Structure 1
């Protein structure tokens, strides 16, 4: 069954669920390629039509490309969309390159790894790490040039600070060619819903499609401890651990509650959810469909968890970090 699509009056459609292949980087758990391939195939079988990756996510592009090639007989290229990124290739500022030359080379490398001759979406990755002039004067013109040649279908930006995303979107719109799409992450979750405030402002800047990524806040909102590299401090980790304990007492998982909460937000066109196994695909899609069609949420538990998280409500950590 194909997942519901957003539809515009111009007959354009857009998937409402995006498979986040960043989990294939190994940053959250070890990668078993056979399971990764099976997860992609299960997603295709269940109607998923959009997959997001990046050169920054380790082997993600290659693993995703291999999985899609293995499924090609049943699912030819035109049956799904691929989203990837340019500009970020490591952890630190020195690992960013937004020059037009590198942008063109990066797109060519992604095409090769993903086994395709076009990309549906290309984002400038984590724009807050570079001078905005580089985004506007180098990277975006190169991407729009590739769009004009048919290599890319949609051009966008991604990043964490909403104010930076908005400033670049407005500046690009003022140049007469608005961005097609924008990806925000960790800003519509149990802990932070600031994306809702910015959504109409993004639309006013000409953004046609908005992706809400990382509903678990990069592995923070789950039963297990957040990854060691996560930017939040010890006190916030303790608060989240208390939320997880409260959920377990009710026979629930914090990650399930967090997914339901984020999936209920319809201001974005699609939600991006990382899935590393077929079981995770099934669980995510079951929650997505249930959330969109019912109000089956433990409201008492939700209110309790939100109250515990209240001291950190709408807190956004610094990005880039001071040591980047």
Structure 2
């Protein structure tokens, strides 16, 4: 097993990965920092096709967007990557941005809505259930195996934020996934138990559990479900820098706001999230190659640090730190700094 931690300046990314021109997802590409700009870019790019698809997760109909190279050779099977969106996100946002960049480089890439959320089915609506989220990723792999142009032996996974931890957890028990990468990974269970920066107290945790119990009792006796915001609806009064950026990203129409995503989840999700640990067993179960990418200034970087430290059985592992990067910068403006490392990683393990 090999492992390493890299902190590489933006200027040296090209020499590290060997990518040297603007069409390869490198830092020289102009960042796409809004949903409208992304949709326009994709519509004008004739090298990539984008199609709405559906697949099954048990009885649930899952909604996805499939990105493919436009000039695929008939009869050829291509390496493919499942892309898992953040908590509170949707397939059209950063998951599609990464999927699109991967398709530009010859990969088939699938972004999809989590079950119970957005255009995917599942009741109750707006549930953030980590067990379901992990099964979503496995079901996406199932879907890949039904496509004749996908090489079943070259399937990878990529997740952003909570999706990064969900993707890693799915890979631990689904060895059809040959390599996994997490960008700004956020282990939702750790985050709920310890707070965004890992400084939460036991009293705060138990207060949350008490409120969940009271809410479940109220709903069992006829009250309406309570909905909570994933991120602040506005930046007013918000002091946590990552949450300021998150609010701008998700809630401003000039950024990546999606009208169909209400930025809400069921309060009754919290007990499930608190009981979940995406990295439990990672030292034994994860044998595939692992790449973690995090910003040096991200309040969530400690999640990537933990995964890197505990993934002792991974055949190869690397923590790639982007100086000056934040949690949210890797959703859009620093995607060009992450892509060369991702492309080198998947080229090595899926080509």
Where on the TM-score scale, by shorter chain, does this alignment land: which range?
Answer: 0.3 to 0.5
**TM-score scaled by structure 1?**
0.35
Task: Compare the two structures and name the one with the higher helix fraction.
Answer: 1
**Higher-RCO chain (CA-CA 8 Å, sequence separation at least 6):** 2
Higher fraction of strand: 2
| TM-score, structure 2 normalization | 0.34
